[in-house]
Amino acid sequence: MSKEILIIDDSPSVRRMVAMTLQQEGYEVTQCEDGAEGLDTAKAKRFDMVITDQNMPNMTGIEFIQAYRNDPSSSGVPIIFLSTESEGDLKSQAKAAGALGWVMKPFEQAKLLAVVKKVVG
């Protein structure tokens, strides 16, 4: 069974790029465009991994992580945080909120894939 990954990013192009990269490797990808939608989706169904951007309308990535980790269903679900380099301080906030790791933007598709493989196999 292929692993299911949730990607939350308000940028359609980045979202699509991530989705296509992962789909090519056989992952199943669900896309959400902000934290609020992501939270509903993640709570409704257990994913093998969640990738979230930080800067989004309605609910930021860190707010999403906090809210999701408050829900028992998130137990054991790895979250990878997407961050741009000027937001270095946010990495630690994301970790404190319960992210497993992060990927810095801009990232190469190969890099993202390596991280995903490392986390979900």
Angle at the Cα of 94 (from 44 to 77), degrees rounded to 5?
A: 35
The values of phi and psi at residue 58, to 5°, are 70, -55
- Residue list 72-101, contact with another protein (CB under 8 A): 75-79, 84-93, 95-96, 98-101
User: Contacting another protein (CB under 8 A), which of 5, 6, 10, 38?
Assistant: 10
Our finding on whether 25 is near another protein (CB under 8 A) is no
Cβ(51)–Cβ(6) under 8 Å?
Answer: yes
Comparison of 39 and 77: residue with beta carbon closer to another protein: 77
Instruction: Count residues binding another protein (CB under 8 A).
Output: 50
Q: Find tokens 């069974």 and name the residue.
A: 1
Q: Which of 37, 32, 34, 33 is nearest to 4 (CA)?
A: 32
- Footprint on this chain of another protein (rule: CB under 8 A): 10-14, 16-17, 20-21, 33-34, 49, 55-60, 62-63, 69, 75-79, 84-93, 95-96, 98-102, 105-107, 109, 118-119, 121
